[in-house]
Structure 1
Amino acid sequence: MAVSLFFLCWSVLPAQVVFSALPKDLQLYARDSDDSAVVEVAGTVLEAGYSEILVAIAREGQPHSSETQLLEYSGGAAPFSLKLKIHAELANYAVSVLLDNDTIAQADSVVCGDAFAITGQSNSICVLMDPKEGFAHWQNPWVRSFGDAMWRNEESTPSYVTDPLPMIADTFWGVAQSRSPGIPGSHCYVGVWGLRMAEVLMESAQVPIAVINGGRSGGQIELFVPDSTNPDTLFGNAGLFGRLKYRVGKARLAHKLKALFWNQGEADAGSDLRYQTYAATFDKLYQAWKDVFGFKHCYLFQLHPSGSGSSNNEVIREIQRRIPGQYADVAAIPEIGLTGHVLAHFTPSGYLQMGQWVGDLLAHDFYGSNKEGVVPPDVLRAWYRSEAHDEIVIEFSQPVIWQNDSLGRFLKDYFYLLDTSQIISEGVSDFYHTELHGDSMVVDSGYVLDRTRIVLRLKEASNASYVSYITNGIYHDADTVIPYDDGPCIKSTLGVGAFTFLEVPILNEAPATTTERQVENHDFSISASPNPFNPSTVITISGLNALHSDIFKGCAIGVYSIQGVLLRHFQISNTGNRAIVFDANGLTSGTYIIKAMGNGRVFTKRITLIK
């Protein structure tokens, strides 16, 4: 598709007109439940003698719509407010404002689509990008951003600490860029994975995408919490939250974000005992994000095993894996399995792959994609396969593959078994008993038993009570101590890494049911009858009774348009009703998507309304 962008500045405004609302060049308006957005032009004519204000909108150079308001003066001033709609599609709109017959303002390449925000430390902004890699000028005209990201390269002064004025002054939209130009600023910088994610979503939903990246290099989680005395401050480290709030607000995207991404934790993993407050601090952040940004879903990343931080990296990872269980609208994304990991960061190819993974997951969660393998596999439970205790079955939430051994490392050696006699710090937490989390080099081989289960064949019978997977970023064997980086791992059928985990209890025998396993099948847990339907259908969540409360704490049910717009929202608890009536009154015939969200997992089903 040929795309034309027009960069025309607003005409010089006559002194007798002031605007309170006016679109800007390249602005993205977040679409509403009608798959459109309202473009408002409002203000006051301060001098009598003019008769009317006209707003005209063109779509791809062709007349689209217009509205005229006659001016009524009071005390020599005439207020005006005109509202016109644009549609969410891959199309540019131009807005012209005329006072009588004179054009007084214009905004070009205005679009309607979906918006997202990113925050966190260095992997949120994709540091160490080399312009020679060819990413410095990589852009997509349908991916937009707003303002100055305030990120600086290593040769420049980190002015976000001392002087936020460049960011305050930059209230302009632009085409998103994957790499900061460094000096003097970073206008519309979103990072490589942010831009690739947006491209995947644009291709899936066929709408423009906006991304605002408010991350920074380094920083423990507390730095991102709003300042208690001045939450709107833009200065220093205390202004991290305020600066993202400022940009999202000025972009008019507050409470209109589809999702917010949190990629952080390396700084906390490198500090002893910081894991003890990580979940509680995340909750403070979550509540502040929800209040200010009003996103529909939040995604946090599970650290890579070789992320910076020599102590407690694995504990922070386990907390990040478990956090979604406390929220109906939070999910996690593992970094393990991504290529090109170097120390705490990734090569450009790794960030590109990260963006692809995230984009595929959101296309599944928001836009009804049924692409298999995009949801990261998570451990559900483990048990001894027989009384001999020489094999352990581990069950995952998604189909998995056992990756071939590589780089001189063996996947079987990444599993640790912990016996109760080895516990040295009982009571520290329910998943952190000892620094090494048990013995390695005790598994002889492993394989996939069926699509969602693996079997560990032990070298000898064991009485271990817990099993862990990749407890730290170092590979140990008799002769080798090397960083994990791109070593073998458990993956989904699409190659997405499975979450690492700590000290999952090993049952002495196979569970009586496999309900937890079934809950991840896309068509299992949600049914709708009748389907097709008119005007209502009963949505039922099956299998909820058998789910353990620590695995599934109720779920949120959403009904979405095929474009991913939320139309209805319901909540189902473990102990409450498991069937709801969806009344499609006011909706048109077509396909709709039901999404059940709980414990960071999203299940979808399509329904058809025929009138």
Structure 2
Amino acid sequence: MLRLLPALLVLALPAAAAAQVRFLEGPSQGRLYPRDPVTNQAEVAMRGEVTVPGFVTASLLVMRDGAIWQIDQQSLTYSNGVAPFSFSTTIEAGLHRYRFRFLLSDGFSSDTYALVGDVVCGDAFLVQGQSNAVAADVHGEHRANDAQSTWVRSYGTARPTAAAAAANHEWYVADGEGQNDRGTIGAWALRLGKNLVDRYQVPVAILNGALGATPIRWHLRDDADPENLNTIYGRLLHRARAAGLAERVRALFWYQGETNGAMDGLEYFRLWSSLRRDWLEDYPGLERIYVFQIHNGTCGGKAIEVREAQRRLADWFPEVEVMSTSAAPGHDGCHYWYEGYEELGRRITRLVARDLYGEPAAAAFDPPNVWQARFTGPARDQIRIVGRDRRQFLTIDPLAYRWFELDAPERVIGVGQDGADLLLQLSGPTTAATVAWVGHPGDGAWITNSLGVGLLAFRLPIQP
């Protein structure tokens, strides 16, 4: 982990001199200010009080990449031995480092009383969920931090205790390998951040509040105390607010559900809908919520009810996008080797690039999805699965049929393609009422689009 300097004003004088100024608001070492996407700028305020008489002016000198960006000066007026000051400056997003120097003058000479550097302006994101949102280096590969960048930052700690959350107010270069620690954001989130920095030349801050093996109920907000540091929700909200990001978080990424593998789909939908409502309230600038549909695996089983509920979230909520985890390589049955997390980072980058950065869209950015299932004829021995996006061209592994299921004794014995639709051949006439694509743990036979993104798991009623 590359640690940045403490997220407090770095006073450039001995303690006795520093006590002459009380800072109430100001930039922090290494801080990212979230930009206004319309203006590409952020406002930086510095205000406080001079507590020792004799000074006549206060000045703020702002440098960008070593050159003067702005100089501002104010006359000081004392009242009861205290002279307030307040500065406001605007910085622009981009791969620029800003430095702030606060000076006081007695009319004859000026001295520096605070010096803060490595401040940037860019975009802010949040990650929440369980262990595949934590996305730590569970296999000890030490590859995730190959994507580490000084322009991808995080704030505070993901340690799951109230004391740790309350005590840590530092900025860090984001770390993709550690687990629930200072500045850790996980492998796929770090890959996402690096991709955005490289492509759009804008710094990003990513705060990850995920915690492994947690059911969705543990993620709900304490409505009586939203920043309750004894809750998963409250700790992340506290960090986002303390970092100055909460009002302008652009997107939140959710990967959770394995622990709820046996939950009824409607109940999962109800609880997730409550979370969404609270996110939109507490993060008012939220433009998108990205949901990873969980993988079939040893952590949660087939979990088809939960996975079907996740698939339908984008049908109910306009700001939601759902990404498949099917066919991501390196799935160990529960988590992923780095190559799998790296692929998830690539997949979600495409959606973010399209939705938030105006990247030209391609059909294969989205995972293959379906509308309905219906029998092709009265024999009831073949089912047509109607694809949603008629532009999607699918690749079908010959053994993929094994991972379709009916709620009847008959089996799917083959799968073909008709344009964007799938044709399932059954072992015989059936009375089945539903058909599901459940996939499987690990690598193997998949149905994918032209970018290798796997078909979303689904359970559908079969129409006559």
Return the TM-score normalized by structure 1.
0.69
Q: Which residue of 1 aligns with 2:189?
A: 194
- Aligned: 1:82 with 2:82: no
Quote the offset at 1:307 in angstroms: 5.0
Equivalent position amino acid for 2:321 in 1:
A
Equivalences, count = 448
C-alpha distance in structure 1 between counterparts of 2:60 and 2:184, whole Å:
32
Q: Give the SS at the match of 1:193.
A: helix
Find the partner of 1:29 among 33, 39, 43: 33
Q: Which residue of 2 aligns with 1:530?
A: none
The aligned runs of 1:363-512 (5 Å cut-off) are 363-372=353-362, 373-385=364-376, 391-398=382-389, 399-405=391-397, 410-417=399-406, 437-439=407-409, 441-447=411-417, 449-450=418-419, 452-458=420-426, 460=428, 464-470=432-438, 473=440, 484-506=441-463, 508=464
Quote the offset at 1:446 in angstroms: 1.1
Q: Give the SS at the match of 1:315.
A: helix
Quote the offset at 1:79 in angstroms: 1.3
C-alpha distance in structure 1 between counterparts of 2:147 and 2:319, whole Å:
32
Equivalent position amino acid for 1:411 in 2:
A
Quote the offset at 1:371 in angstroms: 4.8
Q: Which residue of 1 aligns with 2:150?
A: 141
Q: Which residue of 1 aligns with 2:290?
A: 299
Do the aligned residues in 1 keep the contact of 2:157 with 2:184 (CA within 8 Å)? yes
CA 332–135 in structure 1, closer or farther in 2 if over 3 Å, else same: closer
Q: Summarize deviations over 1:424-480 as a string: whole Å, max 9, x none.
A: xxxxxxxxxxxxx34563333413x22x3333344555565543212x64xxxxxxx
C-alpha distance in structure 1 between counterparts of 2:98 and 2:273, whole Å:
40
Equivalent position amino acid for 2:331 in 1:
H
C-alpha distance in structure 1 between counterparts of 2:421 and 2:184, whole Å:
42
The aligned runs of 1:171-186 (5 Å cut-off) are 171-180=169-178, 186=181
Q: Give the SS at the match of 2:365.
A: coil
Do the aligned residues in 2 keep the contact of 1:6 with 1:108 (CA within 8 Å)? no
Quote the offset at 1:49 in angstroms: 1.4
Quote the offset at 1:195 in angstroms: 0.3
Q: Summarize deviations over 1:533-564 as a string: whole Å, max 9, x none.
A: xxxxxxxxxxxxxxxxxxxxxxxxxxxxxxxx
Do the aligned residues in 2 keep the contact of 1:385 with 1:392 (CA within 8 Å)? yes
Do the aligned residues in 1 keep the contact of 2:412 with 2:424 (CA within 8 Å)? no
Find the partner of 1:38 among 36, 40, 43: 43
Q: Which residue of 1 aligns with 2:315?
A: 325
C-alpha distance in structure 2 between counterparts of 1:344 and 1:335, whole Å:
12
Quote the offset at 1:39 in angstroms: 1.0
Quote the offset at 1:335 in angstroms: 1.3
Equivalent position amino acid for 1:324 in 2:
A
Quote the offset at 1:169 in angstroms: 2.1
Q: Which residue of 2 aligns with 1:67?
A: 72
Q: CA RMSD in A?
A: 2.5
Q: Summarize deviations over 1:345-389 as a string: whole Å, max 9, x none.
A: 111111111111111111011111125211122111234445665
Equivalent position amino acid for 2:175 in 1:
Q
Do the aligned residues in 1 keep the contact of 2:324 with 2:454 (CA within 8 Å)? yes
C-alpha distance in structure 2 between counterparts of 1:127 and 1:208, whole Å:
22
- Aligned: 1:16 with 2:5: no
Question: Structure 2: 5+ residue runs without aligned partners?
Answer: none
Do the aligned residues in 2 keep the contact of 1:416 with 1:439 (CA within 8 Å)? no
Question: Structure 1: 5+ residue runs without aligned partners?
Answer: 151-159, 418-436, 474-483, 509-611
- Aligned: 1:120 with 2:129: yes
Q: Summarize deviations over 1:220-270 as a string: whole Å, max 9, x none.
A: 1111112355433213xxx2111111110110011210011111111111x
CA 194–42 in structure 1, closer or farther in 2 if over 3 Å, else same: same
Do the aligned residues in 1 keep the contact of 2:148 with 2:174 (CA within 8 Å)? yes
Of residues 70-79 and 315-324 in structure 1, the stretch that sits farther from structure 2 once superposed is: 70-79
Quote the offset at 1:496 in angstroms: 1.4
Do the aligned residues in 1 keep the contact of 2:414 with 2:424 (CA within 8 Å)? yes
Do the aligned residues in 2 keep the contact of 1:490 with 1:498 (CA within 8 Å)? yes
Do the aligned residues in 2 keep the contact of 1:52 with 1:70 (CA within 8 Å)? yes
Q: Summarize deviations over 1:38-63 as a string: whole Å, max 9, x none.
A: 11111111222111121111111111
Quote the offset at 1:84 in angstroms: 0.8
Find the partner of 1:309 among 300, 323, 335: 300
Equivalent position amino acid for 1:194 in 2:
A
Equivalent position amino acid for 2:26 in 1:
L
Equivalent position amino acid for 1:442 in 2:
V
